[in-house]
A and B are shown apart, each in its own frame.
Chain A
Amino acid sequence: MVLGMAALAAIVSGCSEELPPPPPQPIAFNHSVHIENEIECSRCHEGAETQAQAGLPAMAACASCHRRQAADHPEVVKFMEQYANGNGEPMVWRKVHVIPTKAMVQFKHSPHIRADVDCATCHGDVSQMTVAQQVVDVANMGWCLDCHRESGASIDCLTCHH
């Protein structure tokens, strides 16, 4: 029994280890600190409620707070330097949750938010993450379908694959 549990734990942890590691980001952005300061997800990821892409804030939006807030934090200093010297080029953040192109899936955030799916359902509890990382295999169609079936959402192939 104990051995069985251990084997199961090994399999489960083995699965989670298969998830890709968090990609290196240009700035060590800390989600948990921002959420501790009661910044809602949608304040920075503005598109999530109305658009397909949740999106990322413009560097100017980050800078508007960070001119005063934590201005001496080394990562903030690094960010402000890039902002000042970047000639208006946006920060090149790396995607954490990637659905492979070959799946030919057209994912939209807005219908999910409208259906009251919590951000954490797919993205994990980022309030506990210093570095955003994948906790759910979003490339697993079975995982999507389980939720779609439970909630009575469309399971028509064309809804996502087109």
Chain B
Amino acid sequence: MTRWGMAIDTDRCTGCGACAVACHAENNIQTVGEEEAGKGRAMHWMRIERYYEGVFPDIKVRFQPVLCQHCAHAPCEPVCPVYATYRTPEGLNAMVYSRCIGTRYCANNCPYTARYFNWFSPEFPAPLERQLNPDVSVRPAGVMEKCTFCVQRIQDVQDVAQTEDRPVRDGEIKTACSQSCPAQAITFGDLDDPASLVAQLGRTERATHLLEDLSTEPSVTYLRGGR
């Protein structure tokens, strides 16, 4: 079986934000403007969290990109009254927009605050509508959305691999965030393949998970320290 997962090396992350920008472009994520962002309505499937250690000028900043953790025991899933979010056979935490009725229970229950609600109809003023990704639906107002692990890219690579009658190679699938990361801090792959880079990184002693004590069993591994 396949179980998609990601490893993020926080020691490599410089907090440049290229991943967040690439994610916006790839996934047709709307922007809400300064005022609404101030009300907490900004939508970033991938965001960079900053942690400051020490006191100025002797200060150290630590960056942590946070996205949907695609938990094996996802708190968002059982609270959805219409089964709009569920775990796929390939280990993705799926969000089916056309099922969503916008109760927002899932976002309320997500300990990583990785889910975003469309408070407004998306607006892509000309000529921005021309850069919309045709492989990703534009979500209307009233539905929840979040990181999909670039499922459209996963499907594209699987499609090519099937046409060429071969398995998907490790490293062949690149999510928009991992592709754009100049420090190559983000690795994507199959956690169930012990030889894959992401599985190998997950076995190192540098591997940690966000809010591990909640037992959500995230598919995203963070690597830090230990060198």
Contact = CB atoms under 8 A, between A and B. Distances in A.
Interface of A: 50, 52, 101-106, 108, 110-111, 114, 156-159, 161-162
Q: Which interface class (under 10, 10 to 19, 20 to 34, 35 or more) fits B? A: 20 to 34
Interface stretch (B11-19, B134-142, B171-179, B218-226): B134-142
Contact of A162 (B86, B89, B140, B152): B152
Given A50-B163, A104-B137, A161 B97 contact: yes
Contact of B88 (A50, A114, A158): A158
Contacts of B162: 111, 114
B96 interface: yes
Q: Which secondary structure characterizes the binding site on chain B? A: loop
A106 B156 CA distance: 12
B163 A162 contact: no
A110 B159 contact: yes
B148 interface: yes
Nearest to A51: B159
Contacts of A108: 155, 159
26 contacts: A52-B134, A52-B135, A102-B98, A102-B140, A104-B97, A104-B98, A104-B137, A106-B135, A106-B136, A106-B152, A108-B155, A110-B163, A114-B163, A157-B94, A157-B96, A158-B88, A158-B92, A158-B96, A158-B148, A161-B96, A161-B97, A161-B99, A161-B137, A162-B97, A162-B136, A162-B151
Contacts of A101: 137-138
Interface of B: 86, 88-89, 92, 94, 96-99, 134-140, 148, 151-152, 155, 159, 162-163
A161 B148 CA distance: 11
A156 B163 contact: no
Contacts of B136: 106, 162
A105 B99 CA distance: 12
B89 A157 contact: no
Contact of A156 (B89, B97, B134, B135): B89
Contacts of A50: 163
Contacts of B155: 108, 159
A54 B136 CA distance: 18
Contacts of B138: 101
Given A52-B134, A106-B152, 18 more contacts: A50-B163, A102-B140, A103-B98, A104-B97, A104-B98, A106-B135, A106-B137, A110-B159, A111-B162, A114-B163, A156-B88, A156-B94, A157-B86, A158-B94, A158-B148, A161-B97, A162-B96, A162-B136
Nearest to A103: B98
A71 B99 CA distance: 51
Contacts of B134: 52
